[in-house]
């Protein structure tokens, strides 16, 4: 019997870039949540070898897969999965601002932890996530969070009871890949001076209206440089905002994927269908996001 994990799409509800750090990373503040749409990862006893990739976006992966790097990092810690067959169903677009590769690596770490229960409480898992990339720690936690630093400082948001509410949403990608490095280069952020601008909320968000107000006030600092590189992003965002029931729309991460949050699930489904009719070459899905508002 194999071990399976979902690698859910990461969505940045807001994102501030506070500056360029001396270690080459950028100092960030971001309110992060996760969507129901996901890559699927499985580790099962079988013929070992390279990571086997399937799914609609399998052909978009170029060069070494981050999962292979994650396997190397695990081996260095004495966690060897070489006797396992690893399969990745790639359902999320690549270089899309949804943290797909980071979510895949995080899911592999969670599966390795499940296969080694004697080390489940070992602090090494968070350290390994940090080594693999800025988005991997929050994807490893797989729950809404305030993210700071280079992505390594996480502040958990309390879900409602018995579980978090869900936000009806639509994700739309114009099927262009946009490398994170290009967007940060276009941003040309100044050196980080150690001061925080408090882009993330310092008090709990008590309602969806609080969330929408926060998103409109803070925005995403990477949206402007991403649009300069790929002007179609503005078209995607405007198309979402024009659909009935859309309360707020923004770009996620470094783009180009944009998302809209809707009042009702049926409005999100209708909007996704309408967008696919008007722009049949876009990748468009109706989904749900974990709510970040406190109960």
Q: Is the pLDDT confidence value at 214 over 60?
A: yes
Taking phi over 0 as left and psi of -120 to 50 as alpha, with beta for the rest, 5 belongs to beta
- Domain assignment present for residue 161? The answer is no
Give the model's confidence band at 158: pLDDT under 50 very low, under 70 low, under 90 confident, else very high.
low
The rounded Cα 121 to chain-centroid distance in angstroms is 25
The rounded Cα 106 to chain-centroid distance in angstroms is 11
Which residues lie closer than 8 Å to 190 by C-beta, 6 or more apart? 19, 20
pTM, full prediction: 0.93
Beta-bridged to residue 295, according to DSSP, are: none
Query: Do the Cβ atoms of 154 and 137 come closer than 8 Å?
Result: yes
The residue among 156, 182, 216 that closes a domain is 156
Q: Is the pLDDT confidence value at 276 over 70?
A: yes
- Domain assignment present for residue 295? The answer is no
Query: Do the Cβ atoms of 251 and 220 come closer than 8 Å?
Result: yes
Give the model's confidence band at 295: pLDDT under 50 very low, under 70 low, under 90 confident, else very high.
low
Alpha helices, H only, the chain: 66-76, 100-115, 124-132, 136-141, 180-187, 208-218, 223-229, 232-241, 265-278
Rounded Cα distance, 193 and 224, in Å: 22
Q: Is the pLDDT confidence value at 245 over 60?
A: yes
The residue among 116, 135, 156 that closes a domain is 156
Same domain, 152 and 181: no
Q: Please calculate the CA angle 31-34-39 and round it to the nearest 5 degrees.
A: 140
Q: What is the pLDDT of residues 82-136, one digit of tens each?
A: 777 889 999 999 999 999 999 999 999 999 998 888 888 888 899 999 999 999 9
Q: Is the pLDDT confidence value at 251 over 90?
A: yes
Q: Return the CATH number at 183.
A: 3.30.70.890
Q: Return the CATH number at 25.
A: 3.30.230.10
Q: Specify the range with the lowest mean pLDDT, choosing from 96-100, 117-121, 171-175, 193-197.
A: 193-197
The residue among 130, 156, 182 that closes a domain is 156
Query: Do the Cβ atoms of 291 and 167 come closer than 8 Å?
Result: yes
Q: Per the structure, how many domains does the chain have?
A: 2
Q: What is the pLDDT of residues 109-120, one digit of tens each?
A: 999 998 888 888
Rounded Cα distance, 90 and 267, in Å: 27
- Domain assignment present for residue 121? The answer is yes
Q: What is the predicted pLDDT for the residue at 102?
A: 95
- Quote the percentage of the chain above a pLDDT of 90: 67
Rounded Cα distance, 102 and 65, in Å: 11
Same domain, 8 and 149: yes
Region 56-73 average pLDDT: 87
Q: What is the predicted pLDDT for the residue at 47?
A: 65
Rounded Cα distance, 272 and 122, in Å: 43
Give catalytic residue positions: 10, 135
Q: Quick check: helix, strand or coil at residue 105?
A: helix
Region 37-50 average pLDDT: 81
The rounded Cα 224 to chain-centroid distance in angstroms is 19
Whose tokens are 């500056």? That residue is: 19
Q: What is the predicted pLDDT for the residue at 121?
A: 82
Q: Is the pLDDT confidence value at 46 over 80?
A: no
Give residue 20's domain range.
Answer: 3-156
Q: What is the predicted pLDDT for the residue at 203?
A: 65
Q: Is the pLDDT confidence value at 1 over 60?
A: no
């Amino acid at each position: 019997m194999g071990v399976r994990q979902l690698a859910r799409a990461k969505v940045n509800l807001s994102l501030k870039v506070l500056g360029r750090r001396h270690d080459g990373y950028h100092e960030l503040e971001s309110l992060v949540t996760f969507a129901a749409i996901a890559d699927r990862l499985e580790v099962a006893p079988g013929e070992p070898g390279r990571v086997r990739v399937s799914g609609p976006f399998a052909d978009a992966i170029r060069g070494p897969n981050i999962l292979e790097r994650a396997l190397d990092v695990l081996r260095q810690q004495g966690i060897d999965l070489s006797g396992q067959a690893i399969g990745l169903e790639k359902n999320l677009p690549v270089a899309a601002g949804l943290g797909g590769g980071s979510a895949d690596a995080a899911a592999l770490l969670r599966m390795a932890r499940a296969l080694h229960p004697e080390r489940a409480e070992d602090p090494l898992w968070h350290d390994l996530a940090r080594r693999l990339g800025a988005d991997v720690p929050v994807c490893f936690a797989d729950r809404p969070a305030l993210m700071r630093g280079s992505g390594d400082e996480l502040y958990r948001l309390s879900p409602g009871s018995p579980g978090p509410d869900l936000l009806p949403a639509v994700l739309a990608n114009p099927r262009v890949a946009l490398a994170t490095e290009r967007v940060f280069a276009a941003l040309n952020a100044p050196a980080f001076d150690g001061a925080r601008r408090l882009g993330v909320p310092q008090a709990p968000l008590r309602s969806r209206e609080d969330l929408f107000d926060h998103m409109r006030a803070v925005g995403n600092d990477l949206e402007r440089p991403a649009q300069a590189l790929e002007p179609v992003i503005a078209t995607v965002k405007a198309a979402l905002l024009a659909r009935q029931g859309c309360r707020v729309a923004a770009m996620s991460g470094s783009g180009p994927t944009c998302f809209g949050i809707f009042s009702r699930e049926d409005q999100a489904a209708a909007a996704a269908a309408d967008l696919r009719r008007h722009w049949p070459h876009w990748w468009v899905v109706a989904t749900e996001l974990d709510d970040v508002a406190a109960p």
